[in-house]
Amino acid sequence: MGVLEESQSGLVPLPESARAFSHWAISQVVKPGEQVIDATAGNGYDTLFLAKQVGELGRVFSFDVQQLALTRTREKLEEQALDGRCQLILDSHEHLARYVQAPVAACMFNLGYLPAGDRAVKTLWPSTQKAIVSTLSLLRPGGRVSICAYPGHTEGRQEAEALTKWLKTLKEAEYTALHLVFANQTENAPQWFLIERK
């Protein structure tokens, strides 16, 4: 199902994955014409989702350190004639403030490595933390940062653990921070984090 589509019974089912939760949460706050960030372009699914959210007058800034990821992302955008809404940037997300100015409505992180790519190239907590801090400085009130983490590999587990600890340092008066774990799934299942600026 799409972002919380109504079932035949009329009830709205819960999202069944970290990515589904992330798309739902971001869809609630992004308005047409706004600026958003995909901090980890990967295979392009989040960039494509964001391009649909911002409309013709909005802008998506999509980052990746691998040209292969940006090529895959561009192909997805061109298939739906949405590439004109997006700027694809070959650089680490820790440098995103060099390319994007406030205000930003939302930012999405899908951590780990590129599926069907080089697994030696992956996100690491030091650069991820810098990117999140930069994003928070650009975020408009009510804006959200969504982060999917993958503890099924060593670096992914380290990122999830570090992120969990770091979120507790955010001032409650300024941010709401959530951490979603699927309790009846394997401990290696993806985890979802959300930060909202008040």
In the chain, domain spans? 18-197
Instruction: Return the pLDDT at 9.
Output: 61
**Cα atoms in the 13 Å half-sphere on the side-chain side of 149:** 27
The CATH number corresponding to 18-197 among 2.40.50.140, 1.10.3720.10, 3.30.110.30, 3.40.50.150 equals 3.40.50.150
Cβ atoms of 146 and 109 closer than 8 Å: yes
Q: Is 146 exposed, middle or buried (0-12, 13-18, 19+ CB in 10 A)?
A: buried
Instruction: Return the pLDDT at 2.
Output: 47
Per-residue pLDDT in tens (0 to 9) along the chain, 198 residues: 345 555 566 676 778 888 899 999 999 999 999 999 999 999 999 999 999 999 999 999 999 999 999 999 999 999 999 999 999 999 999 999 999 999 999 999 999 988 877 888 999 999 999 999 999 999 999 999 999 999 999 999 999 999 999 999 999 999 999 999 988 888 899 999 999 999
Residues in the chain: 198
DSSP track, 76-112: HHHHTT-GGGEEEEES-GGGGGGT--S-EEEEEEE-S
Residues forming beta bridges with residue 144, ordered by sequence position: 106, 196
Instruction: Return the pLDDT at 113.
Output: 86
Q: pTM higher than 0.75 for the full model?
A: yes
Instruction: Return the pLDDT at 6.
Output: 56
Instruction: Return the pLDDT at 150.
Output: 94
Instruction: Return the pLDDT at 7.
Output: 53
